[in-house]
Amino acid sequence: MTAPFSLAPLPWEENALEPVISARTIGFHYHKHHATYVKTLNELVVKTKLADMKLEEIIRATAGAKDDSEKNIFNNAAQVWNHDFYWRSMNPTKTKLSGKLASAITRDFGGTAELIAALAEAGKTQFGSGWAWLVSKDGKLSVEKTGNAMTPMAKGTNCLLTVDVWEHAYYLDYQNERPKYLESLLGKIINWDYAAENLSREGEAVRAAAE
């Protein structure tokens, strides 16, 4: 899909993540923050050479740009992608961890509790706004953190899950207590099915990035 981009629907009802994340937080986060990234991106790419590119291509083409207008496009494009990915990383119905993903977690982290602790630590120690990620490279899993709009996919890294640690993601529900938000989200609403699906698509995602 190329510009104009549209705001993708949420994969669940706005109150479905309660009590971990309130409908009020989702309302602001989705209808104000995410929607504004989409709207701004469309305004910025119209009549540029990026107008015919897919979202992923725009992100990779502008990552690391020196020029301020390209940086601005990168920030908005990456935030559109990151938020779509974030909504799908959460599921109100407890999903089950099994198969290839479960064995990769045991192999690379020692267990689910250790993986969750590593993600919480990445989110907690990301200074200021940003994201915590579970990623895979050649099937091997690791945790990363990125600042502001930066996303591992910009460098062709395959993403499995993400957690938004911008204050707008948790402030209405947890105020300054980011660790509490992380603990609650990671303990209760992680979408393991989505992570497993993304792990199985690693080859496809990496090939698309290399094109």
Annotate each residue in 114-153 with x if it binds Mn ion (CB under 5 A) or - if it does not, as one string: ----------------------------------------
Among the listed residues 142, 125, 124, the one whose alpha carbon sits nearest the alpha carbon of residue 133: 142
| CA gap 119, 132 in Å, rounded | 6
Smaller CB distance to Mn ion: residue 105 or 153?
A: 153
87 near Mn ion, rule: CB under 5 A? no
Interface stretch with Mn ion, choices 8-16, 93-101, 105-113, 161-169 (CB under 5 A): 161-169
DSSP 60-85: HHHTT--SHHHHHHHHHHHHHHHHHH
Smaller CB distance to Mn ion: residue 85 or 192?
A: 85
Among the listed residues 161, 151, 153, 101, the one whose alpha carbon sits nearest the alpha carbon of residue 129: 151
Member of 5, 131, 166, 192 binding Mn ion (CB under 5 A): 166
173 near Mn ion, rule: CB under 5 A? no
Smaller CB distance to Mn ion: residue 2 or 175?
A: 175
**Residue 138 burial class via C-beta count within 10 angstroms: exposed 0-12, middle 13-18, buried 19 and up:** exposed
164 near Mn ion, rule: CB under 5 A? yes
Compute the least distance from the CB of residue 94 to Mn ion, in Å: 24
Compute the least distance from the CB of residue 65 to Mn ion, in Å: 21
| CA gap 77, 191 in Å, rounded | 24
Smaller CB distance to Mn ion: residue 133 or 166?
A: 166
Among the listed residues 87, 85, 72, 4, the one whose alpha carbon sits nearest the alpha carbon of residue 38: 4
Binding site for Mn ion (CB under 5 A): 164, 166
